[in-house]
């Protein structure tokens, strides 16, 4: 078993770290707030006061944080992972959903330190993380992916290796931008159904059984009907907006216009501007409800 540093104990990270503890690895954890580590420390994880301290002697470092800025601080900060002393040839596994350009920059910095880098964003919700039921979207050298298998297996039911470093992130940004478009379209459709006087419970149930159904659409249309956007936040508007922005940026880099992604991003910008960014992403229904028909 390995000595593993796990940094970032949010809704996803806590469950993932717990899976590694249960698999018998020696897991050293760090988070900006120690309170989020309480349950993990109770089952055998060890606490570190900084990313550098967590990484000392680690054979693998896994990170699960919110965005590029948080990732940069964890890896390259004054007390970041690369300021510490991981084991020679350690695996650096970044599980966060990040921009493609930052992933490439980070992988170069990691390689310069003699570590092996994998981008390994995930699909699945917090309950799937806690149950080891995630799908991992991996970019990296085949030998490094194989070396990481004992760490990745307890986290997931499927591990898809898309190609070299950056490939896993590219796929994650593609599907999350598609998700943003789907959710924005669902909000628009539900607002139309509401204005038309339809029974929204019946609308959501029929969507779930029809051709427009996807896990994103089904989950969010049900939340739109319930109107419980501020409780049990599964995926916030801020996070969806961040992922959509990273996806549009990648599209620009690739020369793809992304008109539908841009429209969804504009809706998410409006959601955040309305003060709804900390609520569940389903709150984008409020943007659709408030939108007025353009004047001709």
**296 within some domain:** no
Cα dihedral sign for 169, 173, 174, 176? positive
In DSSP terms, 60 is beta-bridged to 4, 91
CA–CA gap between residue 55 and residue 53 (Å, rounded): 5
Write out the residue range of the structural domain in which residue 138 sits: 3-164
Residue 41, domain CATH: 3.40.50.720
Residue in 166, 79, 76 with CA at minimum distance from that of residue 119: 166
3-state secondary structure of 1: coil
CA–CA gap between residue 164 and residue 157 (Å, rounded): 21
Same domain assignment for residues 125 and 221: no
The first and second tokens of residue 55, run together, are 């990484």
Per-residue pLDDT tens over the stretch 85-135 = 999 999 999 999 999 999 999 999 999 999 999 999 999 999 999 999 999
Summarize the confidence of residues 243-258 as an average pLDDT. Answer: 98
Q: How confident is the model at residue 294 (pLDDT cuts 50, 70, 90)?
A: low
Same domain assignment for residues 258 and 140: no
Summarize the confidence of residues 2-21 as an average pLDDT. Answer: 97
Residue in 209, 205, 237 with CA at minimum distance from that of residue 222: 205
Number of structural domains (the chain) is: 2
Same domain assignment for residues 148 and 195: no
Same domain assignment for residues 131 and 269: no
Q: Of the residues 36, 113, 172, 242, which is catalytic? A: 172
Residue in 102, 119, 101, 96 with CA at minimum distance from that of residue 11: 96
What DSSP character marks residue 93? Answer: E
Same domain assignment for residues 148 and 273: no
What does the pLDDT read at residue 291? Answer: 84
Per-residue pLDDT tens over the stretch 167-199 = 999 999 999 999 999 999 999 999 999 999 999
Same domain assignment for residues 137 and 216: no
113 noted as active-site residue = no
Same domain assignment for residues 159 and 29: yes
122-123 and 134-139 strand pairing: antiparallel
- Compute the chain's Rg from CA coordinates: 20
CA–CA gap between residue 247 and residue 174 (Å, rounded): 6
**249 within some domain:** yes
CA distances from 280 to 3, 193, 227, 237 (A): 35, 21, 10, 6
122-123 and 60-63 strand pairing: unpaired
Summarize the confidence of residues 64-81 as an average pLDDT. Answer: 98
- Of 145, 164, 183, the residue at which a domain comes to its end is 164
């Amino acid at each position: 078993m390995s000595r593993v540093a796990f940094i970032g104990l949010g809704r996803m990270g806590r469950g993932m770290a717990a899976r590694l503890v249960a698999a018998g690895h020696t897991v050293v954890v760090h988070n900006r707030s120690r309170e989020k580590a309480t349950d993990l420390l109770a089952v055998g994880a060890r606490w570190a006061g900084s990313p550098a301290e967590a990484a000392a002697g680690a054979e693998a470092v896994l990170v699960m944080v919110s965005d590029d800025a948080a990732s940069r601080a964890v890896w390259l900060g004054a007390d970041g992972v690369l300021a510490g002393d991981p084991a020679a040839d350690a695996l650096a596994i970044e599980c966060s959903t990040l921009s493609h350009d930052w992933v490439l920059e980070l992988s170069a910095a990691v390689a310069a330190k003699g570590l092996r880098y994998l981008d390994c964003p995930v699909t699945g919700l917090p309950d799937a993380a806690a149950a080891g039921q995630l799908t991992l979207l991996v970019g990296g050298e085949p030998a490094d992916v194989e070396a990481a298998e004992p760490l990745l297996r307890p986290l997931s039911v499927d591990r898809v290796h898309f190609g070299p470093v950056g490939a896993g992130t590219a796929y994650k940004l593609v599907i999350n931008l598609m998700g943003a478009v789907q959710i924005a379209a669902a909000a628009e459709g539900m607002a139309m159904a509401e204005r038309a006087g339809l029974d929204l419970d019946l609308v959501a149930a029929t969507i779930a059984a029809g051709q427009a159904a996807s896990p994103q659409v089904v989950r969010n249309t049900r939340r739109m009907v319930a109107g419980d956007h501020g409780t049990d936040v599964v995926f916030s508007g801020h996070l969806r907006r961040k992922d959509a922005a990273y996806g549009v940026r990648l599209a620009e880099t690739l020369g793809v216009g992304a008109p539908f992604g841009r429209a969804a991003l504009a809706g998410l910008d409006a959601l955040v501007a309305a003060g709804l960014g900390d609520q569940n992403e389903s709150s984008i229904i409020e943007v659709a409800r408030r939108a007025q028909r353009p004047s001709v």
